Amino acid sequence: MNKFTKQCVAAVASLAMAGTLCVAGAVVAGSSAWAAPSVDTTFNTKGKTGLTTDSQDGNYQKAPWLDNAPSTGSITIYKWKSETDGTTGNQLKKTPVKDAEFTIKKVKSVNSKDLDLTKYDSWVEIAKAADGLNKNTGTVTFDDKFGTDQKLSGSTNDNGVLRFKDLPLGLYQVQETKAPKGYSAAETRPFYMTLPMIQQVKQETKYNYAPFVDPKNVDISDSVQKTKDTKKTVGAGDEISYTITADLDKVKAKDTDPNRVADEFKGYSVFDLAPANYFESYDNVAKTVKAGSTTLTPMTDYLVSAAEAKDGKKKIEITFTDKGREALATAANGSVGKAAKVTVDLTFKLAKTATLSTNSVTNEGGMVPSHDTGTTPSEVKTKTNPKVDFATFQIKKVSSKDNSALPGAKFMLFANKDEATACTNAIKEGKTSTELDKVCKAKASVGFGEKETSSEEGADKKGLTEAYSVKRGEDFYAVETVAPAGYIRNPDVKTINVEEKDSTKVFPVENLPASGNDGKSWLFNLPKTGAAGVIIFALAGVCLVAVGMFIFLRNRKKEEEQQAA
């Protein structure tokens, strides 16, 4: 779009060199000169498609400094979706975009020089200032009599067209002040157009009193995704992680295109919309921020805003410093032909069971497209948001013999099966104290801790751990760390999965009685030592021994008598 002021410079220079410029005489006002500048709500002609085809025909008239030249004109904006042909990377210019708001302001002076475009000298001043205006470094003041509050605004219609009509000749600042929903702004800073616009048409200098511009917007409605990571999560009080992946809204389309610069990413930010109350804290939750594959440094490259509560959510926004925007530009330039990614990893601690209960936790995300001061971009939010459903969960400890409830058993829960297995093996190996804590306590669910089955009487209490909110639809694992008195610890890792449809679940774990329980074996009832049955067998044994001894002694005596005879 800055090409228009560049064309102006070239045209003025060529005219001056040729000596064809004339000092303006009297200007005759046309019939529309008395109409106030406004948005033409009746104009709804779709622009001509195709990159090599002008969206509309020009209205070419004599130079503005000549007698009887028009005193007014129009500026038309044709808004298009940014689409390329996939082979050359060239724009297609085929899909109009509605609801893009543009604001124009009439420039009164440039670098302290008042402008009157019916005077040749003013065109020279514009030519001198063009480079600074293109770079947004020029100093301008605006006509306080133009429009409302020095500006005139309108939005593109269903055909992607916006026309400002009955505009007095002059230099105009044009800015996209609100991008259509789901689109990036075509430019993050204002650009300038002269009315009329000096153009070269078939090597002939002409003055277009109906100039137009074709800004293009990138469809970014699908440019933000959010995923959850519950690999370390069992339930309440545990940590849960999320990743937001957002496209940069400025792309270097081809290797031959100029590099993107940091200023083009002004206003770009990524945000998280965390549900209020379901997390214990909303501070220090952004753990990693990357531009492309480069990890950025907090405070140096980016800032994280304090959580702002609104509509039941807390907005946590990641904004970028000047240095951070340089990193964004570097990422964009390193991803030719496709949008570079910004990734934000966040970790929250879930609230307690009393809050989570059987509720669902849905976390959204989004990004704010690049924009300049004074513009109002539409936020782009994630279309698919990760949700975690919770259920209340209890372990019930029962005897394998009679299914009676057993108090005094202790359990830990794990999100990872290998870690659960390591814990139960460590207990089997007799590890204790610090060594055991490293493989059990340090790896187990922090929120669940180590819970003990209750001794309180009642079918809904005895043998049960207290209710605890766990994730639904995903496996987690239970390890018995201490057996009830008189029972053998169950060494198996128990895999648990609460179905999505279930809001509550009681999971039974059986235990074998220990041997010698009440003087009995672990399986069959045997007589106790000293009981009547035992005495009978003992007496019978004594009798057998006595009879055997009597027979032995009698036989021995007979042998001795025979030997003596």
pLDDT digits (tens, 9 = 90+) for 319-332: 999 999 999 999 99
pLDDT in tens, 351-377: 999 999 999 999 999 999 998 877 778
What was the pLDDT predicted at 519? 46
What was the pLDDT predicted at 111? 92
Quote the mean pLDDT of the chain.
87
pLDDT in tens, 248-281: 998 888 888 889 999 999 999 999 999 999 999 9
What was the pLDDT predicted at 557? 66
Asked if the model's pLDDT at residue 17 lies above 50, the reply is no
CATH T-level assignment (fold) for domain 224-385: Immunoglobulin-like (2.60.40)
Give mean pLDDT, residues 475-481. 98
Which has more confidence, 345 or 187? 345
Asked if the model's pLDDT at residue 526 lies above 80, the reply is no
What was the pLDDT predicted at 269? 97
Phi-psi region of 524 (alpha: psi -120 to 50; beta: other; left: phi over 0): beta
Burial class (CB in 10 A: 0-12, 13-18, 19+), 479: buried
**In the CATH hierarchy, which top-level class contains the domain 389-513?**
mainly beta
Can you state the percent helix, strand and coil of the chain, rounding each to 5?
A: 20, 35, 45
pLDDT > 70: what percent of the chain? 85
Which residue do the tokens 């309108």 mark? 154
Asked if the model's pLDDT at residue 433 lies above 80, the reply is yes
Contact 172, 75 (CB under 8 A): yes
Give mean pLDDT, residues 541-546. 71
Q: Among 59-63, 397-401, 462-466, 533-537, where is mean pLDDT lowest?
A: 533-537
Helix (H) or strand (E) holding 8: helix 3-18
As a whole number of angstroms, the distance between CA 152 and CA 75 comes to 12
Which has more confidence, 116 or 5? 116
pLDDT confidence of 89, banded at 50, 70, 90?
low
As a whole number of angstroms, the distance between CA 328 and CA 289 comes to 11
249-276: buried (b, 16+ CB within 10 Å) or exposed (e) per residue? bbbbeeeeeeebebbbbbbbbbbbbbbe
Asked if the model's pLDDT at residue 563 lies above 90, the reply is no
Which residue do the tokens 């002609």 mark? 45
pLDDT confidence of 11, banded at 50, 70, 90?
very low
Give mean pLDDT, residues 273-300. 97
Domain boundaries 3-217, corresponding CATH code: 2.60.40.10
Asked if the model's pLDDT at residue 560 lies above 70, the reply is no
Which has more confidence, 192 or 2? 192
As a whole number of angstroms, the distance between CA 468 and CA 448 comes to 7
Contact 388, 500 (CB under 8 A): no
Helix (H) or strand (E) holding 314: strand 313-320
What was the pLDDT predicted at 35? 84
What was the pLDDT predicted at 326? 98
pLDDT confidence of 396, banded at 50, 70, 90?
very high
What was the pLDDT predicted at 443? 98
What was the pLDDT predicted at 24? 29
Neighbouring C-beta atoms of residue 488, cutoff 10 Å: 15
As a whole number of angstroms, the distance between CA 157 and CA 559 comes to 135
What was the pLDDT predicted at 1? 43
Q: CA dihedral in degrees (42, 44, 48, 51; nearest 10)? A: 100
Residue 246: CA count within 13 A, CB half-sphere: 29
Which has more confidence, 537 or 183? 183
pLDDT in tens, 94-150: 899 999 999 999 999 999 999 999 999 999 999 999 999 988 788 999 999 999 999
pLDDT confidence of 27, banded at 50, 70, 90?
very low
Q: CA dihedral in degrees (196, 200, 201, 205; nearest 10)? A: 70
pLDDT confidence of 213, banded at 50, 70, 90?
very high
What was the pLDDT predicted at 15? 41
What was the pLDDT predicted at 221? 86
Q: Among 186-195, 299-308, 537-546, where is mean pLDDT lowest?
A: 537-546
Asked if the model's pLDDT at residue 379 lies above 80, the reply is yes
As a whole number of angstroms, the distance between CA 170 and CA 152 comes to 14
Asked if the model's pLDDT at residue 29 lies above 80, the reply is no
Peptide bond into 386 cis (omega under 30): no
